[in-house]
């Protein structure tokens, strides 16, 4: 029997002593206010054992981690028709790059770069009268926790400064790949990214990807094939233009966000979430990647 708690404790002690903690994202001004010294780590096994250390119960801005949950919601309603508007190839470029979108006629490479996530947001806006409420309820239901909220200051801060996302949405619109008005889609998208969750809540919400599409309460949210495919997209596209490095160092499907969170999972085994707001040059949490590399090395539990 593996002693997960002491493994997490060891990792925690090791990574918080690192001098170079990376840099907190500042292009969304409100995110720059977060204390770089936060560090949380939470693990939940498929059969429900939970282990946590550090700031694993402090809510933080999940940012791009929300793109996976939004994709799951859209896929559960629309199935593979969403692939008419999106690809599933890694972009090899930063998450907010625009040139590829222009060259490839407004079809984003994958749902986790910003342009792809904006298409998914458009699908959600078309599906629901009140998409913000529906998305929040979806995540609360997956987690079994009503204490999950949007951070309105962060949404507002991004709305005021999200120029590249406005550019991407306008390009999508010009190519006919956005059904709703740019303002409406981005108003929803910024709010979706501004969801705040703790490491523990994120771990729980991602259980469906480790459990063949069934959430914590054994309710089928996605087909087995959809869960498998979303895991594949996380592995190949979940870490900006560092997905190869993450597969190489850690060896798990997962998703990072500029708020400093990383969630990763081993299908049929566990989900693990880290939070450390300092990012490396590619936009992934510096200590989060280190912690996850240590976790799969110490436990020898990766997909490879």
Shorter beta-carbon distance to ligand GLU: residue 55 or 158: 158
Catalytic residue (choose from 64, 157, 205, 276): 64
Helix pair 114-127, 182-193: axis angle to 10 deg = 110
* Closest alpha carbon to 63 in 244, 189, 209: 189
Percentage helix, strand, coil for the chain under 3-state DSSP, each rounded to 5: 50, 15, 35
Half-sphere exposure of 36 (CA within 13 A, CB side): 18
CA torsion sign, 288 to 293 to 297 to 301? positive
Pick between residue 64 and residue 177 the one whose CB is nearest to ligand GLU.
Answer: 64
State in angstroms the smallest separation of the CB of 184 from ligand GLU.
16
Question: For the chain, first and last CA: distance in Å?
Answer: 21
Known catalytic membership, residue 27 = no
Known catalytic membership, residue 67: yes
Catalytically annotated residue among 51, 150, 188, 240: 240
Contact indicator for 123, 82 with CB cutoff of 8 Å: yes
Work out how close the CB of 44 gets to ligand GLU at its nearest, in angstroms, rounded to a whole number.
23
Rounded to 5°, angle at Cα 297 from 291 and 301: 105
Minimum Å gap between C-beta 63 and ligand GLU is 3
147 CB-near residues (< 8 Å, 6+ apart): none
Nearer to ligand GLU, 36 or 301 (CB): 36
Q: Which of 258, 263, 276, 285 is catalytic?
A: 258
Residue with Cβ nearer ligand GLU (45 or 170): 170
Whether 64 is catalytic is yes
- Based on the residue annotation, tell me whether 189 is a catalytic residue of this protein: yes
Q: Of 284 and 294, which has the nearer Cβ to ligand GLU?
A: 284
Q: CA-to-CA distance for 286 and 28, rounded, in angstroms?
A: 18
CA distances 138 to 71, 112, 133, 141, Å, are 12, 19, 9, 5
Catalytic: which of 21, 67, 173, 286? 67
Classify the phi-psi angles of 134: left when phi > 0, otherwise alpha if psi is within -120 to 50, otherwise beta. Answer: alpha
Taking the least distance from each CB to ligand GLU, the nearer of 143 and 256 is 256
List interacting residues with ligand GLU (CB under 6 A): 63-64, 95-96, 114, 158, 165, 193, 257-258
- Helix-helix angle 114-127:66-78, to 10 degrees: 50
Residue 153 Cβ vs ligand GLU, minimum distance, rounded to whole Å: 14
26 part of the active site = no
Q: At 150, which helix (H) or strand (E)? A: strand 149-150
For the bound state, the minimum distance from the C-beta of residue 287 to ligand GLU, rounded and expressed in Å, comes to 17
Q: How far is the CB of 114 from ligand GLU (least distance, A)?
A: 5
Which residue out of 51, 188, 189, 270 is catalytically annotated?
189
List residues with catalytic annotation: 64, 67, 189, 240, 258
């Amino acid at each position: 029997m593996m002693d997960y708690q002491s493994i997490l404790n060891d990792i925690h002690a090791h990574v918080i002593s690192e001098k170079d903690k990376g840099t907190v994202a500042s292009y969304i001004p409100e995110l720059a206010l977060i204390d770089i010294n936060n560090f949380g780590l939470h693990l939940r096994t498929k059969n429900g054992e939970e282990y946590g250390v550090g700031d694993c119960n402090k809510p933080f801005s999940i940012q791009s981690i929300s793109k996976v949950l939004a994709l799951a919601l859209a896929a559960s309603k629309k199935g593979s028709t969403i692939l008419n508007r999106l690809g599933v190839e890694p972009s090899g470029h930063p998450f907010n790059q625009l040139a590829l979108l222009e060259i490839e006629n407004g079809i984003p490479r994958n749902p986790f770069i910003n342009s792809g996530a904006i298409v998914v947001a458009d699908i959600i806006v078309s599906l629901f009268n009140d998409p913000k409420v529906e998305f929040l309820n979806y995540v609360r239901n997956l987690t079994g926790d009503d204490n999950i909220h949007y951070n309105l200051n962060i949404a507002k801060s991004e709305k005021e400064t999200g120029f590249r996302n406005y550019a991407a949405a306008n390009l999508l619109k010009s190519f006919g790949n956005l059904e709703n008005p740019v303002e409406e889609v981005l108003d929803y998208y910024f709010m979706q990214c501004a969801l705040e969750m703790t490491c523990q809540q994120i771990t729980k919400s991602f259980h469906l990807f480790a459990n063949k599409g069934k959430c914590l309460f054994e309710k089928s949210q996605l087909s087995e094939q959809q869960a498998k495919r979303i895991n594949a997209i996380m592995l190949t596209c979940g870490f900006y233009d560092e997905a190869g490095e993450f597969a190489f160092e850690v060896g798990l499907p997962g998703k990072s966000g500029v708020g400093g969170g990383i969630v990763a999972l081993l299908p049929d085994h566990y989900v693990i979430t880290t939070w450390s707001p300092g990012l490396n040059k590619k936009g992934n949490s510096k200590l989060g990647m280190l912690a996850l590399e240590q976790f799969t090395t110490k436990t020898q539990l990766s997909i490879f």
